[in-house]
Amino acid sequence: MKVADTSSAQARKGKDIQGIPWDRLNITRESYRCTKLEQYRLLLAYEEHCIQKLDQQ
């Protein structure tokens, strides 16, 4: 199923650019964004930890 592209006018009115129907999900866009940013922060910390471990060898 092809979803129609979101126009700039629709985006300015609040429509999600990727067409995600946030009003039908059990999580808000902001909450999801915070979760993803936290996961990314943890990934970066883990990568740094691994690099330090390799440097110690």
The pLDDT, as a whole number, for residue 25 is: 95
Residues 6 or more apart whose CB falls under 8 angstroms from that of 4 comprise: 19
pTM for this prediction: 0.65
Q: For residue 57, what pLDDT band results from cuts at 50, 70 and 90?
A: confident
List pLDDT tens digits, range 14-44: 888 888 999 999 999 999 999 999 999 999 9
Residue 29, pLDDT score: 92
Domain residue spans of the chain: 27-57
Percent helix / strand / coil, the chain, rounded to 5:
65, 0, 35
